[in-house]
Amino acid sequence: MTPLILALIAVFAPLIVATLLVIVRPLRNTGKPAAGLSVIGAVASLVASLALFWQSVTGHVDVLQEVMWLPEGGYPMATIGVQLDGISVSMLVVVSLVATCVQVFSLEYMDSETDADYGRYFTWQSLFLFTMQGLVVSPNLLQLFICWELVGLCSYLLIGFYWQKPSAARAAVKAFWITKFADMGLLLGLIVQYVHTGGFGWDDTIVAGLASAGMVNVVAAMYFFAVMGKSAQFPLHVWLPDAMEGPTPVSALLHAATMVAAGVYLIVRAYPIFLAAEQVMPVMACIGGVTAFLAACMAIVQTDIKKVLAYSTCSQLGYMVAALGGGSLMGGYFHLTTHAFFKALLFLAAGSVIHAIHSNEISDMGGLWNRMKLTTVVFVIGSLALAGIPLLSGFYSKDLILESLYEATHHDPIYWIPFIACTVTAGLTAYYMGRVILLAFFGEESEKVSHAHEHGLAMSGPLVLLATLAVFAGFGGGQLGHLYGVHDYHFSVLHVTPVGGLAFLMALSGFGGAYALHTAGMGEGLKTSLVPLGDFIKSGPVDRIWVAIYRQVLHGVADALGWFDRYIIDGLINAFGAWCLNFGEQIRGMQTGRINDYMHVVLMAILILAAVSQVWLRMGGA
């Protein structure tokens, strides 16, 4: 089959399923058959994506097929279509692979839901897969923007899946508001870009047009603002931890592997624009570095296993953004790929634990190794990959990021900020993952854990598959670099540079610190002295700043506008109305109320007008 047809299958198979499930309500409410249909859609998408991937590895896939949309005066104002190259094809595989794993996992994870809820869950999963695939193949930023909003909608629906819970409903609304606020940047950027270039693409002519208009930094900054919302960069990251109110597989798919990576993907796609924006690049790198560091600090103090992973996701997205800001497309995109696998793995493993003991709290866990061997093994593999232990996938991508940031410091000393932040974060990452492993999977067995047991094939199968990928995905680095069109990247398995060695040492010391503090029982004094700081971080200082801005600034502006509307605009109208009434009262005395009198007036008026017109005519008027 031609690449185009495969891509259409990959995009539209989930849409057909989703449409069917949305429209045919009895089918959706059957539960299991609806879920089966959804998985079939995902598998179809996966198979088509893999076939495409195979074609692009063995040969070369470069397809750009567009259809006219919004015709304006005979030529299209915009196009929609499919762009297939190394970047989009590999992302198609990542998305459909993780989505398939997550949907299969959900078959068992969600089995305590009613049939109607079960069907509703899979309907939205299918819808999400379609929107995400549509985003991936977008040949221009307008189509990307449409799909960007649609994945945001799916995120909202799935975070609020347990809408009966007030906290889940609130989290969904919070995620929606913050990402919409950030999306204003993408919309405004698109408008500015269209005004100055007449196109929504990202090719060289567009960049040249923006550069000659002097708008390239402005537009890139606007796009980056949207990325900060979607990819949860500081200080817009506050929605992501709350998004953990959704079902755990949703967190794995949307809020770890794919949807939050859409922001990074936007930078990767529109990279020519960002590369031309010389003032925006260092800002991106610094925000990424700061996010990586702060989110890792927040992950350390969380007691909810999903929140640890959520902050970890923020932190890793920070790495990707920092790498892209540092000018390394390969570093950012490679890490996106590997991160998708090991973070989805970690979330699904956490979901497996949560399903077994019905609690998110790490304090309710402990000693899971005795009950759930497979889950423990895959969680440890995911953690080691995340921490960047050599031979696992995370090592190669993270090493590449740190190296590229280190190289960037030669051009501009400001890159020391992200480089140091990311290097320190490597240690913190190992520390918080080590802490979770030691507290949740080893140590003393708690009451709830004693009833825990491993789950069936639907849950363990995806775990094993993702664990395999978390180990081996890194070895495909050279191949991926070739696909992405990056030619200065040479992959080798035993590739140790001073920077990589430093990161490895940081990771080891992080694990060592976790062992010393949480298992060996050392440093009690240090722990007690840091409790107030931990409590401060846990209380959500950034959230409080946003709430304060919301209450003071937004409410203030709203009150001022409300006052203006009530007293100035309404006041003018009311004053005019009152004046009319008053004037009417005053001239009311002229009225007699007798119809005959009015007829007299009319007759007199006619006669006078007739007389005037006669005189006027006689005088020789027109």
Partner 1 sequence: MELQILLSIAAILFCVGIYGVISRRNAIGVLLSLELMANAVNLNLVIFARYGDGAVGQAFTLFAIALTVAEVVVGLALVVLLYRTRHDVLTELASDLKR
By CB under 8 A, is residue 593 in contact with partner 1?
yes
CA-atom Rg of the chain in angstroms: 31
Residues 6+ apart with CB under 8 A from 98: 252, 253, 257, 258, 340, 341, 344, 466
Q: Least distance in Å: CB of 603 to partner 1? A: 6
Of the candidates 36, 105, 111, 40, the one whose C-alpha atom is nearest the C-alpha of residue 457 is 105
CB-nearer residue toward partner 1: 164 or 591 = 591
State in angstroms the smallest separation of the CB of 613 from partner 1: 18
State yes or no: residue 603 binds partner 1 (CB under 8 A).
yes
Closest contact distance (angstroms) between CB of 605 and partner 1 is 13
Least distance in Å: CB of 595 to partner 1?
4
In this chain, which of 67, 591, 618, 619 binds partner 1, going by CB under 8 A?
Answer: 591
Determine the interface stretch with partner 1 among 23-31, 456-464, 477-485, 583-591 (rule: CB under 8 A).
Answer: 583-591
- The C-alpha atoms of residue 179 and residue 173 are separated, in whole angstroms, by 10
| 3-state percent helix, strand, coil for the chain, nearest multiple of 5 | 80, 5, 15
Among 165, 527, 544, 600, binds partner 1 (CB under 8 A): 600
Q: Which is nearer to partner 1, 453 or 594 (CB)?
A: 594
Is 582 one of the binding residues for partner 1 (CB under 8 A)?
A: no
Q: Interface with partner 1 includes 620 (CB under 8 A)? A: no
Q: Is 453 a binder of partner 1 (CB under 8 A)?
A: no
CB of 593: closest distance to partner 1 in angstroms?
Answer: 3
For partner 1, the closer of residues 26 and 593 by Cβ is 593
Taking CB under 8 A as the rule, does residue 595 contact partner 1?
A: yes
Provide, rounded to whole angstroms, the least separation between the CB of residue 576 and partner 1: 22
Tell the burial category of 212 from Cβ atoms under 10 Å away from its Cβ (0-12, 13-18, 19+). exposed
Q: How far, in Å, CA of 306 to CA of 308, rounded?
A: 5
Q: What angle do CA 76, 136, 458 make, to 5 degrees?
A: 145
The tally of CA atoms less than 13 A away on the side-chain side of residue 225 is 17
588 near partner 1 (CB under 8 A): yes
Q: Which backbone phi and psi does 168 adopt, to 5 degrees?
A: -70, -40
Six-digit token string for 197: 């270039």
CA dist 429 and 433 (Å) reads 6
Cis peptide before 235 (omega within 30 of 0): yes
Count of residues touching partner 1 (by CB under 8 A): 11
Q: Tell me how far, at minimum, the Cβ of 604 lies from partner 1, in Å.
A: 11
Region near partner 1 per CB under 8 A, out of 280-288, 289-297, 429-437, 589-597: 589-597
Between helix 86-109 and helix 3-23 the angle, nearest 10°, is 30
Give the burial string for 324-361 (b: 16+ CB within 10 Å, else e): bbbbbbbbbbbbbbbbbbbbbbbbbbbbbbbbbbebbe
CB of 608 to partner 1, least distance (A): 15
Q: Does 73 bind partner 1 (CB under 8 A)?
A: no
In the 3-class helix/strand/coil scheme, how is 278-304 assigned residue by residue? CCHHHHHHHHHHHHHHHHHHHHHHCCE
Residue 60 near partner 1 by CB under 8 A: no
The CB-of-612 to partner 1 minimum distance in angstroms stands at: 19
Query: Exactly one of 59, 589, 620, 621 binds partner 1 (CB under 8 A); which one?
Result: 589
Which string of DSSP letters, residue by residue, matches 240-262? Answer: HHHGGGS-HHHHHIIIIISTTHH
In Å, how far are 67, 551, 558 from 183, measured between CA atoms? Answer: 25, 21, 21
State in angstroms the smallest separation of the CB of 578 from partner 1: 19
Among the residue ranges 10-18, 371-379, 486-494, 597-605, the one whose residues contact partner 1 (CB under 8 A): 597-605
- Pair of tokens at residue 304: 């909810």
> Of 214, 592, 621, 622, which one interacts with partner 1 (CB under 8 A)?
592
Q: Does 596 bind partner 1 (CB under 8 A)?
A: yes
User: Pattern 542-581, binding to partner 1, x per CB under 8 A?
Assistant: ----------------------------------------
Our CB check for partner 1 shows the closer of 588 and 618 to be: 588
- Is 611 near partner 1 (CB under 8 A)? no
Cβ contact 292:422 at 8 Å: yes
- Interface with partner 1 (CB under 8 A): 588-589, 591-596, 599-600, 603
